[in-house]
Chain A
Amino acid sequence: MFGSETGVFKTSYAADMALYPLPVARRTMAFLALFFLFAVPLLFSVYAVTILNLVLIAVVGALGLNILVGYTGQVSVGHAAFMSVGAYTAANLIARLHAPFWIAIPAGGGMAALVGAFFGIPSLRIKGLYLAIATLAAQFIIEWTINHVTWISGGVDASIQVSPPVVFGMALETQRQLYFFLLFFAALAVTATLNLVRSRVGRALVAVRDQDIAAEIIGINTFRYKLAAFAISSFYAGVAGVLYTYYLGIANYEQFGISVSIDYLAMIIIGGLGSVLGSIFGAAFITILPEATRLFLKHFGGMFLSHGAILNLIPNIRLILFGSLIIFFLIVEPEGLNRLWRNIRNYFRIWPFTT
Chain B
Amino acid sequence: MPDVSWRFVSILLANGVLVGSMYALVALGFVLIYKATDAINFAQGEFVMFGGFLAAATADMAGLPWWAGVLAAICGMIALAFCLERVVLRPLLGRPIIAVIMATIGLASVLRGTAVLAFGTGVQSISLPVGSSPFHLGPLVLPPIEIVGAGVSLVFLAAFAWFFLKSRLGVAMRAVADSQQVAMAMGINVRRYFALAWALGGVVSALGGVLWGAMLAVDNQLALVGLKVFPVIILGGLDSILGAVVGGLVVGVAENLSAGFLDPLVGGGTKDFVPFVLMIAVLMVRPEGMFGRRRIERV
Chain A contacts to B: CB under 8 angstroms:
69, 73, 75, 77, 121-122, 125-126, 128-130, 132-134, 136-138, 140-141, 144, 147-148, 211, 213-214, 217, 262, 265-266, 269, 273, 312-313, 315-320, 322-327, 330-331, 334
Chain B contacts to A: CB under 8 angstroms:
40, 88, 91-92, 95-99, 101-103, 105-114, 116-117, 121, 227, 230-231, 234, 238, 266-267, 269, 272-273, 276-277, 279-280, 283-284, 287, 297-299
- Complex CA gap A193/B102 in Å reads 24
| Residues of B with C-beta under 8 A to A133 | 230, 234, 279, 283
- Complex CA gap A262/B234 in Å reads 21
Max count, chain B CB within 10 A of own CB: residue among A69, A129, A211, A265:
A129
- The reply to whether A137 and B280 contact each other, CB–CB distance below 8 Å, is yes
Q: How far is the CB of B213 from chain A (nearest CB, A)?
A: 20
- Complex CA gap A334/B102 in Å reads 11
| Residues of B with C-beta under 8 A to A136 | 227, 230, 276
- Complex CA gap A326/B109 in Å reads 10
Max count, chain B CB within 10 A of own CB: residue among A269, A317, A318:
A269
- The reply to whether A137 and B284 contact each other, CB–CB distance below 8 Å, is no
B interface majority secondary structure? helix
- Complex CA gap A317/B109 in Å reads 10
- The reply to whether B88 and A130 contact each other, CB–CB distance below 8 Å, is no
| Residues of B with C-beta under 8 A to A137 | 230-231, 276-277, 279-280, 283
| Residues of A with C-beta under 8 A to B97 | 75, 128-129, 132
- Complex CA gap A138/B109 in Å reads 21
Picked from A134, A140, A269, A331, the residue with its CB within 8 Å of the CB of B88 is A331
- Complex CA gap A213/B299 in Å reads 6
Q: How far is the CB of B279 from chain A (nearest CB, A)?
A: 5
| Residues of B with C-beta under 8 A to A147 | 269
Picked from B105, B110, B273, B284, the residue with its CB within 8 Å of the CB of A144 is B273
- The reply to whether A323 and B279 contact each other, CB–CB distance below 8 Å, is no
The 9 closest A-B pairs by CB, nearest first: A319-B113, A323-B109, A326-B106, A323-B110, A320-B113, A323-B106, A137-B276, A316-B113, A128-B97
